[in-house]
Amino acid sequence: MIKFVVIHLLLHYTIYFYKTTKITQNLYILLKKIKKFVAKKCILNFTNNPHIQKMAKYIAVKSIKNIQVLKVTDVLFLESSGRFTIIHLKNKKSVIAYKNLGFYEKIFENKNFIRVHNSFIVNLEYVFEIIKDLGGYYFMLETKNIVPISKRKFTKVKEYLYM
């Protein structure tokens, strides 16, 4: 926080001399970039705090027409669709979001969600059973949706579920 205050003061001091020299102009640009970097770092530290993440019960999702606010507990699973993510909800509706699956993997990291496939993240609260088939393993959800588990991710699933 002290670094941020010092940079902030330097930035405003530089603005006073902005019109006088080219060197100060370059310094101003540099300090502005440093200020943005420090601010982003503070925000990341805040959002990566596990206590803050567990408190979040809602998520804002930017979709085609609007920004929808969804309850985290209503999300069954997320499916990748290129650069978009399809969020499947408990009420059998789905929302197409403009962020990729990796973005949501970070958000749902400490919220009982697990990435089980390159294209799927599952809310473990709704898992009914694990099906073993000739093709591999699958999650059967309470809503009768079937989500594949990749061979690479199955070891992670076993560790998470203490199998």
Q: Check: pTM over 0.75? Answer yes or no.
A: no
Q: Work out the widest C-alpha separation in the chain, in whole angstroms.
A: 74
In the chain, where the domains are located: 2-47, 56-160
Task: Say which CATH architecture domain 56-160 belongs to.
Answer: Beta Barrel (2.40)
Kind of pairing between the strands at 75-81 and 84-89: antiparallel
pLDDT tens for each residue of the chain, 163 residues long:
444 444 444 445 444 444 455 555 665 665 566 666 555 555 555 555 555 555 568 888 988 788 999 999 999 999 999 899 999 999 989 999 999 999 999 988 878 899 999 999 999 999 989 999 888 899 999 999 999 999 999 988 888 888 7
